[in-house]
Amino acid sequence: MSTCVVRGDKLAARKVGGEMVILSAEDSSMFLLNEVGTAIWEAADGRRSIQAIADVLCAEYDVDRATALADVTEFVESLAAAGILSVADEAAG
Amino acid sequence: MQSYHDVTVEVGGIAIALHTHSAALVRLLEHRFGRFLNPSATPDFEFDITVVADSEPDEESDLTVEQRDGCWFLRRGDFRAEWDSAARRGRIWQTLNPYGIDSILRIVHTLVLSSEGGFLLHASSAIRDGRAYVFTGPSGAGKSTIVSLAPDDVTVLTDEISYVRRTPQGYVAFGTPFAGELSDAGEPASAPVAALFRLGHAEENRHQRLDSAATVRTLMRNILFFTHDRRLVDGVLDTACDFASRVPAYTLHFSPDRRVWNTLG
């Protein structure tokens, strides 16, 4: 089944000096993403799958696809555990 | 028939009128908010307060702040309150102590500032030569210490909770009456914010510029939050980013010595 990566809806996020600052409205916890994390976050637009996000990273950075896929998978899993990203079934159509 | 008493507390240019039948509560409020009382101010918001008996006071019970149908509902062991921010009126039921109102005022100001561009910050602040300096950091970082070392020409705005508000002239720090049990209220003065300092201890005084991302992180770790409302959280983060782009921020490591004030500004 095709899946896509979705950002949480109770979050405020701003890019400041190349870093993404994410604030949870749920519990006021704060997450700080480095440059690569920020690129993954921005690519996770609710339509792209983990594989498609890895493709975006490959296009932006000098990284092979297997490494990019592993990095994106690990990143998405860690942010999903924190409740700020989730992996959902792709919308119909 | 009991008469109503009015106490108007003005902080950050926002006047909140408190109406109650309880003369005992009025005495507590006048003592608590002393220099921040402004009977001639036109109230921006008004609250009717009913003093209730100490049933089983549990001041340690968690504070809850919720919004339903356009009204805010605040509850803690020693008070509950309803506030219609659009109508600018609210009601408070509380036991006879000055701390409930102190908390309610902090919450109301925080909610107002989050949509108007400002914040309450765990920080001390002070004015020197018409410029305000804000000192933030976790407990033990030296927020109270640095203002206690201030020379005589310095006006202390607060040693605990700083009040920062966006104005057409830039960000302005205001004095606050919000103090812990062991500290004093600040002065009801204000000045444009010249710099934000994140405090740390060191043998020698030194400071170093923070970039905008580090400034936003520092602010967001220390801004007072009472709501889970996504729109207001968005507003606070916007304000922190805007503040970081306009006001210089530094780490300030200092030894507890008056000379640290010679290195500021």
The pLDDT of residue A93 is above 50:
no
More confident residue, B44 or A27: B44
**pLDDT of B152:** 93
> So where are chain A's domains?
3-83
Confidence of residue A29 (pLDDT cuts 50, 70, 90): confident
Which stretches in chain B have pLDDT values below 50? Answer: none
Is residue B139 packed enough to be buried (19+ CB in 10 Å), middle (13-18) or exposed (0-12)?
exposed
Nearest Cβ partner of A25 from B216, B221, B233?
B233
Nearest Cβ partner of A19 from B213, B221, B228?
B213
Nearest Cβ partner of A12 from B211, B212, B234?
B234
Is the CB of residue B250 less than 8 Å away from at least one CB of chain A?
no
Please give the residue of chain B at the shortest CA–CA distance from A34: B213
Task: Please provide the DSSP assignment of A2-69 as one string.
Answer: -EEEEE-SSEEEEEETTEEEEEETTT--EEEE-HHHHHHHHH-SSS--HHHHHHHHHHHSS--HHHHH
Do residues A60 and A38 touch, judged by C-beta distance below 8 A?
Answer: no
* N-term to C-term CA, chain A: 13
Q: What residue spans in chain B does CATH classification 3.90.228.20 cover? A: 118-263
**pLDDT of B177:** 93
- Tell me: ipTM over 0.85: no
**pLDDT of B2:** 62
Per CATH, which fold does A3-83 belong to? Outer Surface Protein A; domain 3 (3.90.930)
According to DSSP, residue B37 is labeled: B
If DSSP states are collapsed to H, E and C, what string results for B154-181? CEEEECCEEEEEEECCEEEEECCCCCCC
| Residue of B115, B210, B222, B234 to mutate, interface with A, max A Cβ within 10 Å | B234
Helices (H), B223-258: 230-246
Class of domain B118-263: alpha beta
Task: Please provide the DSSP assignment of B79-124 as one string.
Answer: EEEEEETTTTEEEEEE-S-SHHHHHHHHHHHHHHHHHHTEEEEEEE
Dihedral sign, CA of B197, B113, B49, B103?
A: negative
Q: Which of residues 83-112 of B touch A (CB under 8 A)?
A: none
**pLDDT of B181:** 62
Do residues A40 and A76 touch, judged by C-beta distance below 8 A?
Answer: yes
* N-term to C-term CA, chain B: 57
Contact A16 B228 (CB under 8 A): no
Is the CB of residue A93 less than 8 Å away from at least one CB of chain B?
no
